[in-house]
């Protein structure tokens, strides 16, 4: 059977095509990150605040349009909406490439972000893959984003220095058109009408997600991390330019990013194997705090700048896979899409606020920038220290045979118990499955509750 043999050829084609679309989409954003502040400074009307808006503007429209695009895809189909989003992204790229003022660049970046197809791509992935392989498919998308980030950060300064930063926006427009060809001719089409699935955001589940302490801390964390990433690059390329020309900045970015990725892999393996995810998460946040200490003390020197960036990217590269990994452990099955939606919107809003805040602080001074980021990172560290340890999660399974005629009331009441994270009923096996925190509730408590419900 296909389930035992692995992913089908159609699923593999889906994974390859959609991962490539994600990579192309994110590469177009990452490639300008290390150089856009240098480019924008030369445009009429440039000041630090507008630099920040131009850098983070795409995050605002990304956050606003994620949910509407998902809803449109339910009605008109995944592929047409993805194609429309890529067209919007291409138009925004052309607007940014031909901008003659920093305001025009900001508008172009807003339009770029308006092509918010990430949620639709994930929904299409869910439509075309079986549930048992969906985690693998999502991991494939994650790898594609990581690679596009690394390549974009290195290629951007090289191409920008040789052909001008406007050429980077023309390149992103071309890549968007390539993405359209991939979605039309490589990615399979869903059979029949699209349907709502657990990968999509539901407003009815929003209250639970926003009130869950573990999920809230992770949403705050992804917001903070991308705020810092955008805010740092409002000023960092300008400061580094005093010592290294733009054409040579890749020599800084390449070892720093690859070094961070190289350290991330064994750190993740050790954290998973030794059940130290919470500790790894807190250490990574601590590294972000340390990076701003280094930046604040040494941003006026080449060594201080590079050392600060190196420490920052070690923490960044560790947090990027850690945060979604921890998030998925605390979500309920029926809130998976909502949790992911809030997580993604938090990330994009962080990027926008980072641009605004970074530009505002830089307009005062670079000292104000790194002092402000240091203070915010310390608050984040305090929040991170309170994260519920995901290794406290245990599972409880009991066969209930034919004794459970209507599982919904049992699932609801078991799920409302203090310390229970998720509860579902596997009908084919007649098994009740519960995920719970072992420091809040015991298997004996669950046994007694289930017995009482079955007898009622």
Claim to verify: residue 269 and residue 377 sit in the same structural domain: yes
pLDDT of residue 1 exceeding 60: no
Claim to verify: residue 311 and residue 184 sit in the same structural domain: no
Instruction: State how far the Cα of 299 lies from the Cα of 112, in Å rounded to an integer.
Output: 32
- Average pLDDT in the 81-104 region? 94
Instruction: State how far the Cα of 159 lies from the Cα of 375, in Å rounded to an integer.
Output: 35
pLDDT of residue 73 exceeding 50: yes
Binned at pLDDT 50, 70 and 90, residue 3 comes out as: very low
Residue 359 lies in a domain: yes
Claim to verify: residue 241 and residue 122 sit in the same structural domain: no
Residue 372's closest CA among 358, 385, 355? 358
Residue 379 lies in a domain: yes
Residue 260's closest CA among 221, 237, 229, 234? 229
| Highest mean pLDDT of the ranges 194-198, 199-203, 296-300, 327-331 | 296-300
Q: What is the pLDDT of residue 174?
A: 94
Tell me: the pLDDT tens digits for 47-56?
888 889 988 9
Give the number of other Cβ atoms within 10 Å of residue 61's Cβ.
21
Claim to verify: residue 361 and residue 415 sit in the same structural domain: no
Give the number of other Cβ atoms within 10 Å of residue 116's Cβ.
26
Whether 50 and 173 have beta carbons less than 8 Å apart is answered as: no
Structure tokens at 56: 């983070």
Claim to verify: residue 330 and residue 436 sit in the same structural domain: no
Q: What is the pLDDT of residue 193?
A: 47
Residue 2 lies in a domain: no
430 — alpha (psi -120 to 50), left (phi > 0) or beta?
left
Whether 15 and 138 have beta carbons less than 8 Å apart is answered as: no
Claim to verify: residue 322 and residue 411 sit in the same structural domain: no
Sequence-distant contacts of 309-313: CB under 8 A, at least 24 apart: 309/232, 309/236, 309/252, 309/256, 310/256, 310/259, 310/260, 311/287, 312/228, 312/232, 312/287, 312/288, 313/256, 313/257, 313/259, 313/260
Claim to verify: residue 96 and residue 244 sit in the same structural domain: no
Binned at pLDDT 50, 70 and 90, residue 4 comes out as: very low
Residue recorded with tokens 């000292």: 367
Whether 355 and 59 have beta carbons less than 8 Å apart is answered as: yes
Structure tokens at 385: 């220290």
Task: Mention every residue, 6+ apart, whose C-beta is less than 8 A from residue 290.
Answer: 311, 315
Q: What is the pLDDT of residue 28?
A: 79
How many domains does the chain divide into? 3
Q: What is the pLDDT of residue 291?
A: 97
Give the percent of the chain with pLDDT over 90: 37
CATH of the domain at 445: 3.30.70.100
Sign, Cα dihedral of 206, 208, 210, 216: negative
Whether 316 and 229 have beta carbons less than 8 Å apart is answered as: yes
| Highest mean pLDDT of the ranges 125-139, 169-183, 337-351 | 169-183
Q: What is the pLDDT of residue 2?
A: 40
Residue 243's closest CA among 287, 297, 302? 302
| Residue at a domain's end among 340, 365, 388 | 388
Claim to verify: residue 399 and residue 382 sit in the same structural domain: no
Whether 66 and 341 have beta carbons less than 8 Å apart is answered as: yes
Whether 252 and 240 have beta carbons less than 8 Å apart is answered as: yes
| Highest mean pLDDT of the ranges 52-56, 83-87, 184-188 | 83-87
pLDDT of residue 222 exceeding 60: yes
pTM (2 decimals)? 0.85
Give the percent of the chain with pLDDT over 70: 93
Q: What is the pLDDT of residue 427?
A: 77
Residue recorded with tokens 């220290």: 385
Backbone angles phi, psi at 242, to 5 degrees: -65, -25
Half-sphere exposure (CA, 13 Å, Cβ side) for 300? 4
Instruction: State how far the Cα of 309 lies from the Cα of 408, in Å rounded to an integer.
Output: 51
Tell me: the pLDDT tens digits for 164-177?
889 999 999 999 99
- Average pLDDT in the 372-396 region? 91
Parent domain of 260 = 205-388
Q: What is the pLDDT of residue 337?
A: 67
Q: What is the pLDDT of residue 378?
A: 98
Claim to verify: residue 253 and residue 336 sit in the same structural domain: yes
Binned at pLDDT 50, 70 and 90, residue 191 comes out as: low
- Average pLDDT in the 380-397 region? 89
DSSP 8-state symbol, 20: H
Claim to verify: residue 183 and residue 255 sit in the same structural domain: no
């Amino acid at each position: 059977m296909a389930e035992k043999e692995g992913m089908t050829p159609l699923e593999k084609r889906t994974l390859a095509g959609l991962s490539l679309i994600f990579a192309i989409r994110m590469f177009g954003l990452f490639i300008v990150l290390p150089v856009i502040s240098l480019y924008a400074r030369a445009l009429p009307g440039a000041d630090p605040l507008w630099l920040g808006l131009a850098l983070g503007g795409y995050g605002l429209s990304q956050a606003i349009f994620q949910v509407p695009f998902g809803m449109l895809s339910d009605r008109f189909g995944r592929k047409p909406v993805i194609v429309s989003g890529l067209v919007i992204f291409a138009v925004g790229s052309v607007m940014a490439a031909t901008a003659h003022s920093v305001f025009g660049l900001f508008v172009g970046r807003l339009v770029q972000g308006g092509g918010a197809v990430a949620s639709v791509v994930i929904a299409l992935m869910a439509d075309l893959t079986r549930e048992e392989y969906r985690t693998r498919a999502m991991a494939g998308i994650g790898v594609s984003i990581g690679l596009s980030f690394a390549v974009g950060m290195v290629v951007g300064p090289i191409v920008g220095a040789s052909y001008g930063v406007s050429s980077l926006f023309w390149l992103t427009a071309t890549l968007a058109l390539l993405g359209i060809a991939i979605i039309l001719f490589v990615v399979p089409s869903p059979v029949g009408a699209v349907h709502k699935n657990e990968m999509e955001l539901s407003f009815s589940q929003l209250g639970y997600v926003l009130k869950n302490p573990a999920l809230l801390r992770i949403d705050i964390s992804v917001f903070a991390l991308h705020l810092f990433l955008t805010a740092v690059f409002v000023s960092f390329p300008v400061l580094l330019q005093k010592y290294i020309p733009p054409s040579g900045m890749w020599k800084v970015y390449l070892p720093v990013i690859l070094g961070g990725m190289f350290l991330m892999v064994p750190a993740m393996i050790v954290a998973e194997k030794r059940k130290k995810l919470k500790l790894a998460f807190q250490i990574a946040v601590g590294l972000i705090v340390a990076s701003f200490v280094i930046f604040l003390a040494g941003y006026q020197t080449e060594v201080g700048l590079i050392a600060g960036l190196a420490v920052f990217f070690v923490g960044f590269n560790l947090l990027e896979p850690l945060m979604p990994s921890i998030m998925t452990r605390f979500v309920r099955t029926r809130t998976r899409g909502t949790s992911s939606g809030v997580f993604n919107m938090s990330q994009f809003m962080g990027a926008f606020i980072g641009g605004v805040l970074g530009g505002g602080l830089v307009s005062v001074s670079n000292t104000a920038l790194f002092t402000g980021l240091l203070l915010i990172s310390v608050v984040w560290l305090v929040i991170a220290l309170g994260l519920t340890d995901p290794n406290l999660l245990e599972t409880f399974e009991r066969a209930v045979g034919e004794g459970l005629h209507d599982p919904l009331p049992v699932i609801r009441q078991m799920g409302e118990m203090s310390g229970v994270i998720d509860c579902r009923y596997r009908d084919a096996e007649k098994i009740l499955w519960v995920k719970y925190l072992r420091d809040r509730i015991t298997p004996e408590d669950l046994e007694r509750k289930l017995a009482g419900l079955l007898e009622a």
